[in-house]
Structure 1
């Protein structure tokens, strides 16, 4: 389809409108005609900015998982893991704000989305005294852990402390029932502690390896 000679809408406005539709009406309601109607334009106008629906959804994923995620304001130092904990929590908050878009992120999240920030993050790690050979382990691990965990949570109904594992039968599963009853952490706190444990585990392993070499 030929693109109009003059843009009638902005690319950013189309992405914002797409998110509004998906948030309020669900992903199944989203289409190019529905987006055009929402914006008060004709569908062909959208083709000035996007080649097809998939390109719009990719930009929606890029905005939710990238642009709208706040970067923590922390200086490099020995408490560097807390920078990543804060970043992971900000990522989680952005994703859960748009739960209906979770399937989009699974299918359309650009693989290179986070690579652009990794140079700065690697510099932050280096300035914090983290050896370069640990950087990929940290960055790749954080990406996998955050995306996998948060998207799984986003595609499930919101839970309380006692319903983190749904449909637990207290008769046939008494140990799990007791574990849920004594669990003091919310879903958010569990995620936070999981990220923190991952990062401190890397530190611990590195220190043990260094001690083994020195010994």
Structure 2
């Protein structure tokens, strides 16, 4: 007797080409174009032209999809070990730049990296080795390495989120800031008034690339001081 309620072993049209990579690629396209809230298993299945249940053979739930997206996006930032040919400070900066570029390429995924534990864990696994390697060469202890990487990654995350919210290469803070500072009562925040007045509009124009490099320079200098002190 044939059970007509069951599907045959043959996949439906479209499902024979389904794979984990194809699902994640489609999911990333949805997130990039429409944001993380647009990503559902039903929407993903519709985009791929398959039955929603067929997705679960490759990725068991949405959390697995998000973790897979983190893997897909950030696996490319892994770097080969340059050895001692490159100073540890530059190795650290190169790793930070690569991570920032991955976040910039997919800004709608940036916040998800911060808020989803499975995504964060996946990112940690595929991205932190260059940081750990550089800081180990700097002479930091295991505890210092973990805490320093956490601080550095927090800086990159915060910077990337601010950058993604503006969606431009520069952030023109100068006109509003100058007006507010010039309107302060006499004697209020005298150092702020002096510095802003000396810089003027051109000096206050904020460039994200320059700002990121300045942040890396400050952090790297502090790490070097920490390493020298303990040594």
TM over 0.5: yes
Q: How many residues align?
A: 203
* Contact 1:162–1:181 (8 Å) recurs in 2: no
Please list the CA deviations of residues 117-158 of structure 1 after superposition, one character each: whole Å capped at 9, or x if unmatched. Answer: 6567544544x352435423432322222223223322x122
Q: 1:186 aligns with which of 207, 213, 216?
A: 207
Distance 1:90 1:52, change over 3 A: same
Q: 1:80 aligns with which of 85, 88, 95?
A: 88
**Deviation (angstroms), 1:38:** 1.6
Match of 2:54 in 1: 45
Match of 1:20 in 2: 29
Matched, 1:11 2:23: no
Matched, 1:146 2:164: no
Query: Radius of gyration: which is bigger?
Result: 2
Report the TM-score, using the length of structure 1 for normalisation: 0.75
Q: 2:216 aligns with which of 195, 202, 207?
A: 195
Match of 1:213 in 2: none
Q: Can you give the 5+ residue segments of structure 1 that lack an aligned partner in the other structure?
A: 211-215
* Contact 1:61–1:104 (8 Å) recurs in 2: no
Distance 1:116 1:40, change over 3 A: closer
Please list the CA deviations of residues 11-31 of structure 1 after superposition, one character each: whole Å capped at 9, or x if unmatched. Answer: 121111101112123333322
* Contact 2:114–2:120 (8 Å) recurs in 1: no
Report the TM-score, using the length of structure 2 for normalisation: 0.71
Distance 1:121 1:97, change over 3 A: closer
* Contact 2:93–2:216 (8 Å) recurs in 1: yes
Please list the CA deviations of residues 164-185 of structure 1 after superposition, one character each: whole Å capped at 9, or x if unmatched. Answer: x488253223455856530476
Matched, 1:94 2:102: yes
Distance 1:81 1:137 in 2: 17
Q: Can you give the 5+ residue segments of structure 2 that lack an aligned partner in the other structure?
A: 1-7, 183-192
Distance 1:49 1:15 in 2: 10
Q: Which has the higher helix share?
A: 2
* Contact 1:82–1:196 (8 Å) recurs in 2: no
* Contact 2:110–2:157 (8 Å) recurs in 1: no
Structural RMSD (CA): 3.2
Distance 1:181 1:166, change over 3 A: closer
* Contact 1:72–1:83 (8 Å) recurs in 2: no
Distance 1:30 1:206, change over 3 A: closer
